[in-house]
Amino acid sequence: MAEQTFANMKAVVSGATGTIGKAVAQRIVTEGGSVIILGRNEGTLQEIVAEIGGDATYRVLDIDDDGAVEAFAQSLDRLDILVTTAGWTVMGPVDEVPVADAMDMFGARFFGQCRLIKSCLPKFDDGGIILMCSGVGNTSFYPRYAYGSAVAGAIEAFAHHIAGELAPRKIRVNVVSPGWTVPEEFDPDRIRSNRGFNNEQQQAEFFAALDSPMHETIAAEEFADALVFCARSRHYTGQVIRLDAGRSVTDKPIDGAVDPMTFAYQS
């Protein structure tokens, strides 16, 4: 029988149609909790709920909509865990990507997480877990990824601050910073305003940057492990868990660079 880390706990996971959110939602149910997964595509949400089984339900929700998010939060009786992984990114040279595109991305990926946290906070009793999701781009250089880097930094700064604000309520706030996690299926909606690959050389430069010192991708289940760690560590708050195979340590592996496509589906 699986550990019951989340027994009698109620959770909400946004972005659960993505690789990371889905794995986290599955672990919550497997280890005794109930979960509401959020997303925009009802058909996909229904499929994931059926796959997870147990005490999993879904709500179609646009986290860019203040009124819809507030109404959803008000429908909850209580909340113990909030995991926010929703969002997409933009890529391209800083002198070509329209700032409006970057603002739209910030709206979903940064302010969407902030909006959901703000509205759901009244449903937490003293104690609870908030786990946000940033990205390795703010600690490592990726070609033509300035705005993705910026939003990751904003998420981590916000989490660091609210961890201090919420500490008296015993609500722990942490961030998981994912390295390269290979999705089950490529989702073009997660990369918008892609002006990054004007030629084969630029594409090769970006993919080369995905390599890490460990030469491995990150399995989605490791992010679920991170939530378990946060749940069991009662005094762990205000921190960033960097699951990036050492990519934030250096972009120059001491044993030399490896074509990341050679290990993309081997972890």
pLDDT tens figures, 71-106: 999 999 999 999 999 888 888 888 988 999 999 999
Write down the pLDDT at residue 193: 47
Inter-CA distances, 6 with 78, 79, 162, 174, 198, Å: 14, 12, 23, 17, 47
Q: Side chain identity at 48, as an amino acid letter? A: I
Token pair of 227, please?
């939530």
For 122, phi and psi rounded to 5 degrees? -60, -15
Q: Which CATH superfamily is domain 10-262 in?
A: NAD(P)-binding Rossmann-like Domain (3.40.50.720)
Instruction: Give tens-digit pLDDT for 122-177.
Output: 999 989 999 999 988 888 888 888 999 999 999 999 999 999 999 999 999 999 99
Q: How many helices (H) and strands (E) does the chain have?
A: 8, 9
